[in-house]
Structure 1
Amino acid sequence: MGSDGSPRYRDGPGWHDDVVELRVHGVSGAGPERVLDRADVRQVAGDRSGGFHRPSPQPDGTDPDGVTLEAYRWGDLPSGTMARTLSLVFLLPFMLSNLAVLMRPTGRRSGPGVTVVCRLIALDLTLLYVLSTAGVALDLLAWRCLGAARCPAARDALAGLDGWSTGQRLALLALLPVAAVGFLRLLGARRRRPVGNPLWAVDPLVARLRATHVAAALAVLDLVLLAARSSGGRTTATTLLLVLTGAVLLACVALLGVPGLLDGAATARAAGRTAAAVRVVAYGLSVATFATVALDPRGWPSSIGLPGLERILGSVSLVQMSLLVALGGLVVWDHGRRVPRGAPRHGLGAAVIAAIAVGLAGAFSAALVYWAGKLLGGAAGQPLAYNWTILAFFLHVVAAVVLCGAMTLLSRGRRWRAAAAITARDFPTAPPGAAEYLPRVTRMIARARFTEWLGRLAVAYAALAVIGLTTSVLGQFRLQPDRLGRQLLGLPPGFVGAGLAVGSFLVAALLLALLLGGLFAYRTSWFRRYVGVLWDLGTFWPRAAHPFAPASYADRAVPELADRITQLAQRHAGVVLCGHSHGSALLALAVLRLPPGVRQRVALLTYGSPLDRLYARLFPAYLSEEVLRQVGERVGWRWLNLWRDTDPVGGWIFAAHRPGDPPPDTADPAGRVDRRLRDPRNLLARPGEHQPPPLRGHQPGESDPEFRAAVRELAGRLRDQGRT
């Protein structure tokens, strides 16, 4: 490569005067045979997880359009082994909380505030996780089962602890929550070193976040033990440890709560050292706390549950819900202040995804304690806060179902009218034989247009955070859900209790469904096409809020793509980058990494792309219209985007170009990027065929005539530029 990044060996050894068509699939995890539409393929670069493939046995892999076909398969990067795929089930709330901070609005005033609140919510999820494991290990096992002799199964398994004091049992079994934190660290670890430089420089940030979360996790565990020990009277040692533990928690909150402290260029190194020092202090405090609890000779008070645990759990839940409401307020305030009425709703995903993460984390924690008590046989009762959490989850599910149903019905008329107008323009004189097929086309377009209503649905769902805040406040007053339902709402006895039972079974069913989904997504390709979407999209983004979220695969895929494009540009006349669905996002980010000389030999073809329709709205701070225009400028506006009205995921990026729309601005090159494909091409079968052309929707269609024509056009632009 020259100093400007341009190829040095043109017309020299190894030079090929042709164009490479490099295809990148979407989140379906399609194999290279399907992407290349060839039965036999061979791998030419990469490894088993992510590799580049070409057709075989043709040595050059050239197709009739005069281009060399190549495909990049990255489908195994997000999942890989079965164990990693299943681990994503346990990391799901952390993964979603990490997505929330990346969905923040672009406002300079609200953006930093949203980042801070999202990171505090992520920290709260870690505390909730530790408290749930402490509820099983300390409350159920050490306090209830071994103390009250009501759990025969537990006593058989822990018979060796019968002669131990209560403090010794608590100190020993407190190692289980510590091991649970280590388990999270192991699940979220990177499987291998990334190829090249990371996409975002977040590895140091992850280390600082990890140190902060580990310190807070140990501190809240110490707080549980010290609160239980102090219930019988405080000593100088317990008072001092309580003060130091509170200081550690405040330090963790300050590290995350001061905007720009952890990731600011001027303060990052000092913040990293502070986080590491706080973690070391937390280690020392945990050792001192365990020793103090185990060696304290005083007796313990009589209590059904572990003293102090319920109050700590209720406080964490209340703070969590308060943060969630604050996040919703920041996002709505930013949207109302900056976006004109009727404009697309950008940045609302932060509140919605955070609400889902909080709901799942609370439900999983409550279900863990509830079903652990059931399996232990006799450990009756659980902290009251968990009852309110399960009830809130049940109410959220019911409200979400009602909202989705209502939104579907309310939007149906407008979606059908818009779809009918589209089909009327596409097929103004529909032949008589298409009487049955035309309504099917209209129905598919109407369903695809429901994506435009997701913003309204997001606002409604984010408002449901008030339910969680209300239940958390009621839990602070130690009110029983069933009694309150009878007194205030006049509900029959046992009605709320039945809701709690149903909620517990819903959580268990959700966990089972996620586990089975992860298993079948790994073993069955057609199932992965639907379930794997969540994993592929969730693990694409870097860890910017929760350090225990799954590691991002983009920090390998994007640099690997950029390196391969550079290599191909050195040896060929040009490279046409073809990205379907999420593959278009990988290619767009890879384009931003290319050296200037390489960009001159690159063209971009996207199809079924969610870059504007979803990503620019969900992640406005990272994939805004400004960033997309920068991508176009990098490739000299050699960019075509193919989209269909029947596609519920992809869409236009800069302009729709539907029939009847105003002509594009010739002065703006972005107006020439998008090309709408009529779907289906015709309503009647062609001569010699029995069925009309199928509805393509979100299907790739690399062999479609429109796709091949776009490839030929972009390849021609590259060849023409090479001649000049």
Structure 2
Amino acid sequence: MYMRQMMSENKNSAGHFRDTVVLHGLTEIRVHGVGGTRPEELLCDLSPKRVAGDAIAGFYRTSDDRGRHREAYSWGGLTSHSPLRVLWTLLMPSMLANMAGWMARSRVKSGEEEATQEPTTWIFRWFARLAALVLTLHAAVIVTILSLDTFAYQCLGQLQCSRRLVAASWLPALNFLHERPGIRLALGVIVPVAVALLFFVLACRSRTRYERVEPPTPFRTLPAPGVRCAAAQKGGLRSAQFWSGWLWHKHLSDLHLAASVAVPTGTLGWCVSELGERMNLPANSPMVVARLATAASIVVVLIIVGMLATDAAHEYFARGTLIFSGVFLFITSVAAWTLPLELVQADDGGAKTVLQPVGVAPGIESVTVSWGLALLLLFPLVVQQVTAWGARWWKAAKEARRRGDFEGRRAELKWVRAKARGTLKVFPFAAPVVLNVVALILGNAVLLSLMMLAAGGLGEVSYGFRPERGVLEPTVGPALWVPKAVMSIASVLALGVIVVLGLFGVAVWIWLAAKSKAKASSLVDELRTAYDEAEMRSGSLTRAPAKAATAQERRDAWTVSAFEPAPFDHSRSALARATKSRPSKWVRQAARACLIGEYTPNLAAILAITVSAVGVLGTLLVVTQIWDPQTWVAELVTWLSVLLPVSYVAALRLMFRNERVRRAMMSPFDVGTFFPRSFHPFAPPSYTERAVPELTRRIWWLHDFGGRVVLTAHSQGSALTAAVLARQSERTEENPVGLVTLGSPLAKLYRWAFPALFSDGLLQSFAKGHGGFGDIHWRNVFYATDYIGGPVATKAWSASLRKIDMSMIDPMTDKFVFGQPLPNILSHTGYWVDPRFWREVEKMCDIVAPYHFRATDTGAHSVSYGDSAGMSLSRPPVNGSPSNIGDDEEASLATIAPDSTTPLPYQ
């Protein structure tokens, strides 16, 4: 509400710049966080002027303030502004699989080695790509079984079932298909191939909008796209080619599409050959081709496994593998189409009855086994991660034995544990494995549940492969068979996820309720001390004139402290109210916010590990037949599956209609799509592939015309600016850049989850003032109540480096006017209205560009809207139009489009 009031009062929008923009002087660029904050809100201006970029992601400028230009980089259009972005929620499993590859620990520890060495080992990157391939194979197998077996073979093989799918005008065609199972099987591969092509086309379209934007170079020639995987770039984020992922994504997309095509090809070939054997057909050419297609599909998958071992894109080899897989799909379909098989039996009256093997299509048993065997591709990553984890403990134990100066065995074990874990807070155990398992659980649970739902909607479902009696018998009624393994694993995964989420929510609520009581008792003294110190610094406790003191007394008479029980609150006993032994509800809320801010990473790790552990344990119990889920469990899962699409459509409709809801619900995708698609090509596109080059070019553009830049980055925007400043500039001279981060997840989230990229060495180099971009002046502002942001420095950092962190007390004060709302807990979103934060921005501007350097329009006047805002808005000068700028400054003007809705050509 406050920012909207500021916007309505500000008449000095960027429209006063007309067709030119001053580039020299100091420019503050505000970068928003998750959710896609609008530039109008960032700049407190109802109509800021777009000066670079386009409507999807652009730079907007408003009037100058305190001797500096003010701009906002709005990149929210890359993630959440468009209603179509909500469809990315379908890609969450692939997003998690891609994230998993970036969550490894660094193979090097010192900052000097980090700048020249690859952040992870080659063997890990290969195994991580294999684990991501498992998700593609599993999805392809499940969709193929649903289409080829459930729909094409079983349902279209029964007239009562097939008539539920099509209108009466299609009955002649149904009769034709009803008698020819080979053609039905060939038609069954259309859906899985179409689904794979859909994901491939979406990946290609997004690649042209994101990965196709190459990082800038200081040379006049266009930058050449890099051929190496971003995860294999030496120096990690420091590499100039890190954000050049067009060729690699194209290479990886071809390989995953080839695998997606190989699955229905092999399934079709195997089912055709098995069906022929069941019907005692001679080994003619269609049968031979079907067996060759199955072997070719296995060969294609093995080739893909081998090609994923390389870190360089080989476009022709990957495209050749895709073509090879597609050719065999076509040949196998022709063979199935020409299968000489008509399963028709005529009685004495001339009526025809179709005979075919009852149950699932012959060969589906082997396909179901292959679905489980695909998990073997995850096993190398498990072994690698467990080995790396054990190696850290073994080295720590070996060093402890070499020291031998511990007081008892317990002290030695404590030292070994601290040494193995390290001084940094990181994901506790095998993060890449855990996230890959979670991705597989979510993907398989949804697809298997939808398979059971589809089968239940077409007929009466039986679980198994076929009835125990007879292989050949007339089909009677719409009876469909679903493999028992599918039902069991779907039940375990779906119910496991629901139960874990429910119990986890209840446990966290109980834990917060109990823990916040103890935290509130200690927080009262901390807050009182902090507020007293703040009043001393502001000078409010110094002697004041008698008239001012009288006014202050009148104000104090209306002022109430939030430490006291709320007025008219009858929820406490008189004794507790008198002794004040229990903190107020306001304090308990602040304590709860502090606990959430402190333990958010730990809670996220516990949830992810628990979901993966329950899924793995349940699957093992089913596979080993220790637990056999009953039919009522399958019926419950089917009922829940009915709610799944209904809930999803309702959420989609809400997100389509309401941008604020869409921005909130799509916020996790801003984190999940930060890194390039180096491990799974069908993940949502990485917005940083375009945002990092754009922000880099904007800073270079300002620097080339004598300007200096201060970046004010909130939340996810701080990770974006860190990626920009870490990248090697390749320019000989760069002006220093100021960086003020607020609510930054650089340490609490990114160093914790992605220690190989956002390493402690990289953050320390920023604190020391060194970055790939040039000299950096950094200040990190945070609240203890922030559930995302937090301090960057650790105890291992020197005292001088720890000064970059500034902890601000939240809430800002305990005082409020009687009858008015209590002071708000600002948490993660309140920095923009905190005057203490804006004072830090002003200090940073003085460091980067002293006030006499700031070359803004002459005659600018500033009007302040109060200390509670910490912001001031400038009025345009009387003679401040671009025509009054001298000839020596004319080169520092940029021409912009007169219409803000006109898209600018991207360069």
Q: Give the TM-score normalised by the residue count of structure 2.
A: 0.68
Q: Distance in 1 between matches of 2:67 and 2:132?
A: 52
Shift in alpha-carbon separation, 1:341–1:176, aligned structure 2, 3 A: closer
Shift of 1:358: 0.6
Match of 2:786 in 1: 647
Match of 2:813 in 1: 682
Shift in alpha-carbon separation, 1:707–1:335, aligned structure 2, 3 A: farther
Query: How do 1:425-436 and structure 2 match up within 5 A?
Result: 425-428=526-529, 434-435=563-564, 436=584
Match of 1:218 in 2: 261
Shift in alpha-carbon separation, 1:400–1:419, aligned structure 2, 3 A: same
Residue 487 (structure 2) pairs with residue 387 (structure 1): yes
Shift of 1:41: 1.9
SS in 2 for 1:549: coil
Between stretches 146-155 and 189-198, larger displacement belongs to 189-198
Shift of 1:372: 2.1
Match of 2:303 in 1: 251
**Contact 2:696-2:724 within 8 A present in 1 as well:** yes
Query: How do 1:574-653 and structure 2 match up within 5 A?
Result: 574-593=708-727, 594=729, 599-632=734-767, 633-634=770-771, 636-653=775-792
Match of 1:4 in 2: none
Q: Distance in 1 between matches of 2:587 and 2:511?
A: 23
**Contact 1:569-1:598 within 8 A present in 2 as well:** no
Shift in alpha-carbon separation, 1:419–1:188, aligned structure 2, 3 A: farther
Shift of 1:516: 3.6
Match of 2:196 in 1: 181
Shift in alpha-carbon separation, 1:689–1:34, aligned structure 2, 3 A: farther
Shift of 1:442: 1.7
Match of 1:704 in 2: 834
Q: Distance in 2 between matches of 1:324 and 1:462?
A: 13
Match of 2:589 in 1: 440
Shift of 1:14: 8.0
SS in 2 for 1:52: strand
* Superimposed CA distance per residue, residues 380-402 of structure 1 (whole angstroms, 9 cap, x where no aligned partner): 33222320232122123213433
* Superimposed CA distance per residue, residues 302-327 of structure 1 (whole angstroms, 9 cap, x where no aligned partner): 1311112243123313533x555664
Shift of 1:723: 6.9
Shift of 1:525: 3.1
Shift in alpha-carbon separation, 1:113–1:500, aligned structure 2, 3 A: farther
Query: How do 1:391-430 and structure 2 match up within 5 A?
Result: 391-393=491-493, 394-406=495-507, 409=510, 417=518, 420-428=521-529
**Contact 1:392-1:467 within 8 A present in 2 as well:** no
Shift of 1:432: 6.4
Give the unaligned 5+ runs of structure 1: 1-12, 56-60, 486-495, 657-661
Residue 137 (structure 2) pairs with residue 127 (structure 1): yes
Q: Distance in 1 between matches of 2:264 and 2:491?
A: 26
**Contact 2:131-2:381 within 8 A present in 1 as well:** no
Query: How do 1:658-673 and structure 2 match up within 5 A?
Result: 665-666=798-799, 668=800, 670-673=801-804
Residue 433 (structure 2) pairs with residue 351 (structure 1): yes
Query: How do 1:79-94 and structure 2 match up within 5 A?
Result: 79=80, 81-83=82-84, 85-94=85-94
SS in 2 for 1:464: helix
Match of 1:102 in 2: 102
SS in 1 for 2:329: helix
**Contact 1:118-1:327 within 8 A present in 2 as well:** yes
Q: Distance in 2 between matches of 1:534 and 1:549?
A: 14
SS in 1 for 2:101: helix
Letter in 2 for 1:461: V
Match of 1:521 in 2: 655
Between stretches 700-709 and 418-427, larger displacement belongs to 418-427
Residue 339 (structure 2) pairs with residue 190 (structure 1): no
Shift in alpha-carbon separation, 1:14–1:636, aligned structure 2, 3 A: same
Q: Distance in 1 between matches of 2:687 and 2:151?
A: 39
Shift in alpha-carbon separation, 1:703–1:404, aligned structure 2, 3 A: closer
Q: Distance in 2 between matches of 1:450 and 1:681?
A: 22
**Contact 1:212-1:275 within 8 A present in 2 as well:** yes
SS in 1 for 2:816: coil
Structure 2 residue aligned with 1:203, among 246, 252, 257? 246
Between stretches 46-55 and 574-583, larger displacement belongs to 46-55
Q: Distance in 2 between matches of 1:640 and 1:597?
A: 25
Q: Distance in 1 between matches of 2:147 and 2:520?
A: 57
Match of 1:315 in 2: 370
Match of 2:896 in 1: none
Larger Rg: 2
**Contact 2:81-2:659 within 8 A present in 1 as well:** no
Give the unaligned 5+ runs of structure 2: 1-19, 109-118, 216-241, 278-282, 344-355, 393-418, 460-477, 532-559, 565-583, 855-907
**Contact 1:569-1:601 within 8 A present in 2 as well:** no
**Contact 2:86-2:655 within 8 A present in 1 as well:** no
Letter in 2 for 1:676: S
**Contact 2:262-2:300 within 8 A present in 1 as well:** yes
Shift of 1:595: 5.4
Shift of 1:428: 4.0
Shift in alpha-carbon separation, 1:111–1:161, aligned structure 2, 3 A: farther
Shift of 1:359: 1.2
**Contact 1:103-1:620 within 8 A present in 2 as well:** yes
Letter in 1 for 2:611: Y
Shift of 1:117: 3.5
**Contact 1:348-1:458 within 8 A present in 2 as well:** no
**Contact 1:104-1:619 within 8 A present in 2 as well:** yes
Q: Could you say what the CA RMSD is over the residues aligned between the two structures, in angstroms?
A: 3.2
Match of 1:58 in 2: none
* Superimposed CA distance per residue, residues 603-649 of structure 1 (whole angstroms, 9 cap, x where no aligned partner): 00000000110011111222112222344412534100000001111
**Contact 2:810-2:826 within 8 A present in 1 as well:** yes
Q: Distance in 2 between matches of 1:348 and 1:34?
A: 40
Query: How do 1:417-496 and structure 2 match up within 5 A?
Result: 417=518, 420-428=521-529, 434-435=563-564, 436=584, 437-454=586-603, 455-470=605-620, 473-474=623-624, 484-485=628-629, 496=630
Match of 2:898 in 1: none
Number of paired residues? 670
Letter in 1 for 2:68: V
Match of 1:717 in 2: 847
**Contact 1:124-1:316 within 8 A present in 2 as well:** no
SS in 1 for 2:27: strand
Q: Give the TM-score normalised by the residue count of structure 1.
A: 0.84
Shift in alpha-carbon separation, 1:676–1:133, aligned structure 2, 3 A: same
**Contact 1:140-1:379 within 8 A present in 2 as well:** no
Q: Distance in 2 between matches of 1:402 and 1:110?
A: 36
**Contact 2:57-2:78 within 8 A present in 1 as well:** yes
Shift of 1:24: 0.7
Shift in alpha-carbon separation, 1:585–1:640, aligned structure 2, 3 A: same
Match of 2:165 in 1: 154
Between stretches 99-108 and 214-223, larger displacement belongs to 99-108
Shift in alpha-carbon separation, 1:14–1:371, aligned structure 2, 3 A: closer
